[in-house]
Amino acid sequence: MLESRHTILIQKESHVSLAQSELLCTPEQYLALEREAFERHEWLDGMIYAMAGESPEHSLISANVTITLGSQLRGKPCAVYSPNMKVYSRLPSDVGLKGLFSYPDCTVVCGQALFHDEYRDVLINPRLVVEVLSPATERYDRGKKFLRYQQNQSLSDYVMIAQAYPSIEHYARQTSGNWVYSVTTELTASVAFESLECRLPLAEVYDRIVFPPLDEADPFP
């Protein structure tokens, strides 16, 4: 979840959910600040946003996904990275303050991991990206964030997971460059990732999650 830091690490009490920060930073300035910060932040087109704390459900789902994928990919040429690893998304043709530094809830890289710089804390070749949705950031995850993730030519799969009810949405990139969308809502079902030769069973993703009554979850606002 994101909140903008009004004057980036100076006026810490002043932040509004998903509002634009007033200061513009270059990627180099952002990374210098981020590597010294106690809290995590994301960078979008020169704006820095502070990440708010996550719910217990969010944390459990993220951990379940990491464990499930990690166990299936053990011994294979693909590796699973935790939410502490940043991903940089940017088109080679972009100029100026364009791009996204983000902390996906889970990232998979196949083959050699490529990094933004010598610090080796920013991946630039994700194969799969997973985001756990929350009310505050769902629109952002579905919109601007997905558009930026697509700029990574290595990305073949983008996954969004609901917290309050069983639902995994999957975008799979085709050889044509188009994306095919699917949604899986049955706890007995699985989401398959052909490019990784693995799958996400919903029963494992939602292990230990207690869903609220449907009218409270409101999957169709």
Q: What is the pLDDT of residues 175-186, one digit of tens each?
A: 999 999 999 999
Could you tell me the two tokens for 143? 């919109």
C-alpha distances out from residue 128 to 48, 56, 105, 131, Å? 24, 23, 11, 10
Question: Residue 183: what are its φ and ψ, rounded to 5°?
Answer: -135, 135
C-alpha distances out from residue 36 to 24, 39, 110, 116, 157, Å? 18, 9, 29, 17, 32
The helix or strand, by DSSP H or E, that contains position 67, with its residue range, turns out to be: helix 56-73
Q: What is the mean pLDDT of residues 80-103?
A: 90
- Report yes or no: 122 and 115 within 8 Å, Cβ to Cβ: yes
Lowest-confidence segment of 74-83, 153-162, 179-188, 212-221 by average pLDDT: 212-221
Domains of the chain, by residue range, sit at: 2-51, 56-86+104-217
pLDDT band of residue 104 (cuts 50, 70, 90) is: very high
The reported pLDDT for the residue numbered 213 is 85
Q: Which CATH code is given to the segment(s) 56-86+104-217?
A: 3.90.1570.10
Q: What is the mean pLDDT of residues 146-160?
A: 96
**Average pLDDT in the chain:** 88
Predicted confidence (pLDDT) per residue in 14-46, tens digit: 233 334 445 799 999 999 999 999 999 999 999
Q: Where are the alpha helices (DSSP H) in 113-158?
A: 138-142, 144-149
C-alpha distances out from residue 13 to 33, 46, 50, 107, 125, Å? 18, 21, 12, 31, 35
Nearest to 130 by CA among 45, 204, 78, 200: 200
pLDDT band of residue 67 (cuts 50, 70, 90) is: very high
Neighbouring-strand partners of residue 102: 87
Residues 6+ apart with CB under 8 A from 139: none
Could you tell me the two tokens for 142? 């579905």
Question: Residue 78: what are its φ and ψ, rounded to 5°?
Answer: -120, 140
Strands 41-44, 2-4: pairing kind: unpaired
Calculate the CA 163 to chain-centre distance: 14
